[in-house]
Amino acid sequence: MDIRKVGIIGAGHMGAGIAHVCALAGHEVLLKDTSLQISERALATINGHLAKQVRKGRISEAERSAALEKIHAVDDYEPFATCDLVIEAVTESEEVKRQVFAELCPHLPPATLIGTNTSSISITRLAAATDRPEKFMGIHFMNPAPLMELVELIRGIATADETFHTVRAFVIGLGKTPAVAEDFPAFIVNRILLPMINEAIYALYEGVGTVEAIDTAMKLGAHHPMGPLELADFIGLDTCLNLMQVLYEGLADSKYRPCPLLVKYVEAGWLGRKTRRGFYDYHGDEPVPTR
């Protein structure tokens, strides 16, 4: 089966990024969110990112224009009946995702595949909320999707071989490199990355170093492009906490216990860049450590 037309549910940062990547690779894309206005704002954002790629010489103006013409904002699920693959990229909540699948599936023909961009939730459980678990799998793009080369592919217990091979070929066609993960909490990247971030927060909490010292140490001492606290702000501290809770509850190991300081920041609404305050304050021209 060839994937020609892709539906994307969720026009936030990840959904818009996935739409960007798919359109640039030549696929027709339908983009849906809770309102048409949100999807249309995402189109403007995608246009800005494509224009930036043109300025940097990564794509041509013709490629930018062609990609933008391939993305269409829609405000209901009916047009998704024409899609070969639908990728869900809504908020990281199992309840919300299950509701999306309940509303989506009645509009899809039997052959349409469904993917989820979840970064942590059981693929097998999500697949069971659809009418086609054999045609369902995890397609986890890294953030930001247009720049990051990796896509994690995760099969549920019922995922058919044909589904896996079709999706794998699709991901390679996007110019991405697939990494196959088993259906364990947080998969590969976040299983390794989030405990490192959580440990950096513990180091701050226990007074081992300041925000600036911890980030500088990891950037210069381990050649990380971003310090772990800076990265946590970029990801979103609420997302980091959610992922650590999935690991802690799913694997029942105390080493995954979320740092109390992370919990406090989330309770305070200090979620990182998106709220302009987290481990850094982003209200000025330059980020300033908050501790």
Which active-site residues does the annotation give? 119, 140, 152, 190
63 in Cβ contact with 24 (< 8 Å): yes
Q: What is the identity of the amino acid at 188?
A: I
Residue 163 CA to residue 181 CA, distance in Å, equals: 15
Tokens (6 digits) for 26: 């030549």
Give the long-range contacts of residues 212-216, CB within 8 A, separation 24 or more. Answer: 212/289
Name, in order, each residue with C-beta under 8 angstroms of 108's C-beta and a sequence gap of 6 or more: 80, 81, 83, 86, 114, 132
Residue 149 CA to residue 16 CA, distance in Å, equals: 16
- 9 sits in which H/E element: strand 5-9
249: how many CB neighbours lie within 10 A of its CB? 10
Residue 70 CA to residue 245 CA, distance in Å, equals: 38
> Helices 189-205 and 228-235 meet at what angle, rounded to 10?
120
Residue 13 CA to residue 18 CA, distance in Å, equals: 9
| Token pair 């940097």 in the structure block, residue | 56
Residue 163 CA to residue 153 CA, distance in Å, equals: 11
Residue 252 CA to residue 170 CA, distance in Å, equals: 35
Residue 253 CA to residue 198 CA, distance in Å, equals: 14
143 in Cβ contact with 235 (< 8 Å): yes
